[in-house]
Amino acid sequence: MDKRFLTKTEYVYMELKEKIGNGHFKKDEIYTVIDIAEQIGVSRTPVSGAIKILESEGYVVLYPGLGFKIKETSVAEARESLLISGALEKVAFNYLIENSVVNTKILKDLRALVAESAEAIKNGDREGCVASANAYHNNVYGLVDLPQVKKLLKDHAFLHENWYKSAVTYCSDRIVVLVEDHNKILDALGDNDLNQLNYIIKNHEEHCFEALKEVLLKGGIS
């Protein structure tokens, strides 16, 4: 969305959401509306509106009269989020197979992104690993002509970005498994094998949960 055509509240919302996704805010610090307004260069009103939206979406916790904090994720919330994203991914990949969307070139391009992730992990390149994983997911979701499903998938991908980034730091061996899952998903996609695809996605969901659980136990989302 072109930020030139947003309302001030929408603009601030997108700015804050992007900063949350990039790990700009510390999870144990309280931020005030005034501070945010000064940083972004707007009045307090659109900042207050944006923060209320972020609270409704589960990104922040409000402290009336003080400000807000970035919401920490519990193991139960992580499990629920991954169950939802797993179900959505099944819908998305089933759509791709049933509508014969994926061709040889698309598969080759997706495999290249997965290979980039694997190489980045090997080199300890956290940012590179996250960037290639994001590109993989965005490219897959971009092929799905189901607007509501696509929006929900992108929202969950955004939410999971910091989890993934932290997992590269705390348990890179588990990220290797997730990358291998992506290759298996692409194999099933290339074979048009719905049953195998759904089976792999279910396993991938479990592997994601184990990685995130380890992150939460070792040090939390960074």
Question: pLDDT tens-digit profile of 80-125?
Answer: 989 999 999 999 999 999 999 999 999 999 999 999 999 999 998 8
Q: Which of 26-30, 35-39, 44-48 has the lowest mean pLDDT?
A: 26-30
Check pLDDT > 70 for residue 5: no
Q: How many CB atoms lie within 10 A of CB 66?
A: 11
pLDDT, residue 3, reads: 55
Question: pLDDT tens-digit profile of 131-147?
Answer: 999 999 999 999 999 99
Question: pLDDT tens-digit profile of 51-60?
Answer: 999 998 888 8
Query: Which structure tokens are listed for 79?
Result: 């499990």
- CA neighbor of 107 nearest in space, from 150, 67, 139, 62: 139
Alpha carbons 181 and 18: distance in angstroms, whole number: 27
Residue 72 pLDDT grade (very low, low, confident, very high; cuts 50, 70, 90): confident
Domain residue spans in the chain? 3-70, 75-218
* DSSP 8-state secondary structure symbol assigned to residue 42: S
- Model-level pTM? 0.78
Check pLDDT > 90 for residue 73: no
Helix (H) or strand (E) holding 122: helix 104-122
Mean pLDDT of 6-21: 86
Specify the higher pLDDT residue, 178 or 66.
178
Task: State the angle between helix axes of 147-170 and 126-142 in degrees (0 to 180), rounded to the nearest 10.
Answer: 160
3-70 fold: Arc Repressor Mutant, subunit A (1.10.10)
Superfamily designation of domain 75-218: GntR ligand-binding domain-like (1.20.120.530)
pLDDT, residue 168, reads: 83
Q: Which residues of 100-113 are buried (b: 16+ CB within 10 A; e: fewer)?
A: eebeeebeeebbeb
pLDDT, residue 22, reads: 67
* DSSP 8-state secondary structure symbol assigned to residue 144: -
Residue 171 pLDDT grade (very low, low, confident, very high; cuts 50, 70, 90): confident
Average pLDDT, the chain: 89
Alpha carbons 21 and 59: distance in angstroms, whole number: 10
